[in-house]
């Protein structure tokens, strides 16, 4: 009995296993501490990863910088995914400071307010192209830049999707098309980069009140419908997304690629 107790004491005093110890990751898409990317960053840092952050513009720089500093980030840079110059500059700083990269988290989406508010049939050509460029193509362009830095047999790309990619969700409209394209990009990239040892996955998160979500009309109704119907009868949190991302970014998911992993309290399996 005494021997068992001392063994248990020894086990409890061991440091908890850190799943991303020694890994370096780039997080694109933190706007504030409610961002899904922030949930992922906090969880990755807690598990030992060193993180680089980007911000879209000056207004967001003021929010992102203190958050990134609170996780000891050595790299905090501007990055509008539509600007090849900014994306190139970002990857050259990472190459210079780190020389390699283990993972990239792409948590970026945008569509014009009027294209989300109007009938889908009225979507403008400009709005359509911009939404697809920012929300889907940017994942491909980041993958291309990251590839030379990703460590062989271990590189990892992760993006964020939503159920509107596969079903019509009220008021999601153009973003549903963009997410469908993004999920197809996940599969294409996974097939293309798998032989290089790079895994590519998406998390399809349930609705969470964030800055981006504020662009969807009647979002509060969407949340209450979700909470009432999801098998777990609850909303999801950015911590839920962070935990699932930790699994996908770590070696625990070494056999998983091209996957769209739902973190939605089971909502996607329901028919109502």
Active-site residue set: 162, 172
Q: How far is the CB of 15 from ligand NAD (least distance, A)?
A: 31
Q: How far is the CB of 85 from ligand NAD (least distance, A)?
A: 13
Q: Residue 101 or residue 163: which is nearer to ligand NAD going by CB? A: 163
User: How would you classify residue 270: left for phi > 0, otherwise alpha for psi between -120 and 50, otherwise beta?
Assistant: beta
Query: What does the per-residue mask of binding to ligand NAD show for 198-237, with x meaning CB under 6 A?
Result: -------x-xx-xxxx------------------------
Task: Specify whether the CB–CB gap between 201 and 158 falls below 8 A.
Answer: yes
User: How would you classify residue 169: left for phi > 0, otherwise alpha for psi between -120 and 50, otherwise beta?
Assistant: beta
CB 228: neighbour CB atoms within 10 A? 9
Task: Specify whether the CB–CB gap between 171 and 221 falls below 8 A.
Answer: no
Query: What does the per-residue mask of binding to ligand NAD show for 156-175, with x meaning CB under 6 A?
Result: ----xxx-------------
Q: Tell which one of 103, 110, 172, 226 touches ligand NAD (CB under 6 A).
A: 110
Query: What does the per-residue mask of binding to ligand NAD show for 71-100, with x meaning CB under 6 A?
Result: --------xxxx------------------
Q: How far is the CB of 21 from ligand NAD (least distance, A)?
A: 26
Q: Count residues contacting ligand NAD (CB under 6 A)? A: 27
Name, in order, each residue with C-beta under 8 angstroms of 213's C-beta and a sequence gap of 6 or more: 207, 219
d(CA 199, CA 251): 11
Residue closest to 246 by CA, chosen among 19, 17, 15: 19
Q: Which residues are registered as beta bridge partners of 55? A: 78
Contact positions vs ligand NAD (CB under 6 A): 29-31, 35-37, 56, 60, 79-82, 107-110, 134, 160-162, 205, 207-208, 210-213
């Amino acid at each position: 009995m005494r021997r068992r107790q001392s063994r248990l004491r020894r086990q409890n005093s061991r440091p908890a296993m850190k799943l991303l110890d020694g890994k370096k990751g780039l997080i694109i898409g933190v706007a504030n501490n409610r961002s899904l990317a922030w949930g992922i960053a906090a969880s990755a840092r807690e598990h030992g990863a060193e993180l680089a952050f980007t911000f879209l513009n000056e207004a967001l720089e003021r929010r992102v910088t203190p958050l990134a500093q609170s996780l000891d980030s050595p790299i905090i840079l501007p990055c509008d995914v539509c600007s090849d110059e900014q994306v190139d500059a970002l990857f050259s700083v990472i190459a210079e400071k780190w020389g390699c990269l283990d993972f990239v988290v792409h948590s970026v989406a945008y569509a014009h307010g009027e294209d989300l508010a109007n009938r889908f049939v009225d979507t403008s050509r400009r709005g359509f192209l911009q939404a697809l460029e920012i929300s889907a193509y940017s994942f491909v362009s980041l993958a291309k830049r990251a590839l030379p830095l990703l460590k062989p047999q271990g590189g990892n790309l992760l993006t964020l999707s939503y159920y509107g990619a596969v079903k019509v969700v009220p008021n999601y409209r153009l973003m549903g098309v963009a997410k469908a394209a993004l999920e197809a990009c996940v599969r294409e990239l996974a097939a293309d980069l798998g032989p290089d040892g790079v895994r590519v996955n998406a998390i399809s998160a349930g609705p969470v009140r964030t800055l981006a979500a504020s662009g969807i009309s009647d979002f509060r109704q969407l949340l209450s419908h979700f909470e009432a119907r999801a098998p777990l009868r609850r909303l999801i949190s950015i911590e839920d997304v962070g935990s699932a991302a930790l699994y996908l970014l770590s070696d625990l998911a070494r056999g998983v690629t091209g996957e769209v992993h739902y973190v939605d309290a089971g909502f996607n399996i329901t028919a109502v």
